[in-house]
Amino acid sequence: MDSSDVTDEGLSEPRQAVFREVPLIDVPLAEVREVWVHPVRRRVRVRSVAVTSLEVPLDGLDELFAPEQHIGSVVATTADSVLIDTVTVVAAAVDTVVIDTLDLVVEIIQPPAWSHLLGVFDLETTGIDVTTSRIVSAHVGVIDAMGHSVEVHEWLADPGVEIPEGASAVHGISTERARAEGRPAIEVVSEILDALRGILGRGIPVTIFNAPYDLSLLAHEAARYGLQPLGSPLPIIDPLVIDKALDRYRKGKRTLEAAAIVYGVSLEDAHDAGADAVAAGRVAQAIARRYPIELGEDVLALHEQQVTWCADQAESFQDYMRRERDQHFSADGSWPERS
């Protein structure tokens, strides 16, 4: 297999392949629960290892291996196979056996089907208070399995109020520009609602990074202009909630910019509604590739899971704040929309 001719994209269904004659492997004879081949982590799972005549089952493994403890060097992948150069299994075991050949049975794990077509939505606004802030710009679109935009709807609104300098410094839109180039807010809000209804009505999940902010603000804007709100939109994919749930102990910021770096997504124009919306969708797809089993195929079940995750995350943050800073602090864990 020529590694220059293959790619890890386009996997259609879980497949199995057997690989033999991997030279000089150190195999710890410890029970382990699950081993993932890095760097196609959580895309390729080792099902069993045969050491000459000794069978070492991997359904009782103790830990997942971090990237720096990777068990393999994957040099090429296709829809049918993985070409592994060398494999060293690292585990908390004293006794190991050095062998000349190794048989691996691996399963290529497909990202969930719902991640192949995602709606994306983002707002740039006048502030952070969802009850009083106004929409300045917005993007509603759809991205395909490769993260390419296949539908794009964008708006610039005249919010009818002054845009604070702090907000303009973030998204680059001044009061003067919004008044000169923006459309009436009521028209913009109405069209955003219609665009989102159209995507959700086709059964396409909509990705929103920190969904309670954008959806709650949109609901207040709808009420302000006497428009019919979305109600209870679903399914929603919130990469912020999912990332915090599945990579709970990662240190550092949880902003969209930080998530883009972690998941290898390009974000060149942060705080532009279009750039942020598409980047959030691509982050969601990257998370789906990394955690296909945890997220599963049932997107409605995932929507409900995020309700629980967000509530748990808010409760944990509230406990921390009350313990460390303010005993009266309260965190709202409602998701995907807050009143």
What CA–CA distances, in Å, run from 79 to 12, 107, 253?
A: 7, 11, 35
Has residue 24 got a pLDDT over 70? no
Task: Give every CB contact of residue 82 below 8 A, 6+ residues apart in sequence.
Answer: 17, 19, 37, 40, 44, 74, 76, 106, 108
Q: Is residue 316 domain-resident?
A: yes
Does any domain span residue 334?
A: no
Q: Are residues 118 and 213 in the same domain?
A: yes
Q: Are residues 22 and 70 in the same domain?
A: yes
8 with 100, same domain: the answer is: yes
The answer to whether the beta carbons of residues 214 and 255 sit under 8 Å apart is no
Whether residue 337 is contained in a domain is answered as no
| CATH code for position 234 | 3.30.420.10
Judge whether 276 lies within some domain.
Answer: yes
Domain around 211: 114-324
Residues 99 and 121 in one domain: no
Total structural domains in the chain? 2
What does each C-alpha distance from 1 to 4, 6, 77 come to in angstroms? 9, 8, 9
Give domain status of residue 333, yes or no. Answer: no
- The answer to whether residue 336 is domain-embedded is no
Assess whether 106 and 120 both reside in one domain. Answer: no
C-beta atoms surrounding 211 within 10 Å: 25
**Domain limit, last residue, from 51, 76, 110:** 110
Distance CA 49, CA 208 (A): 41
What is the pTM assigned to this prediction? 0.73
Task: Select from 110, 127, 146 the last residue of a domain.
Answer: 110
Q: Specify if 130 maps to a domain.
A: yes
pLDDT bucket at 107, cuts 50 / 70 / 90: low
Residues 119 and 91 in one domain: no
Answer with the one of 88, 110, 132 that is the final residue of a domain.
110
Are residue 233 and residue 94 in the same domain, yes or no? no
Considering the domain architecture, whether residues 199 and 133 belong to the same structural domain is answered as: yes
Strands 96-99 and 25-28 come out as antiparallel
Which ranges in 71-184 belong to alpha helices (H)?
165-171, 175-181
pLDDT in tens, 60-90: 323 322 333 333 333 333 333 333 333 333 3
The 10s digit of each residue's pLDDT in 213-256 is 999 999 999 999 999 999 999 999 999 999 999 999 999 999 99
Q: How confident is the model at residue 175 (pLDDT cuts 50, 70, 90)?
A: very high
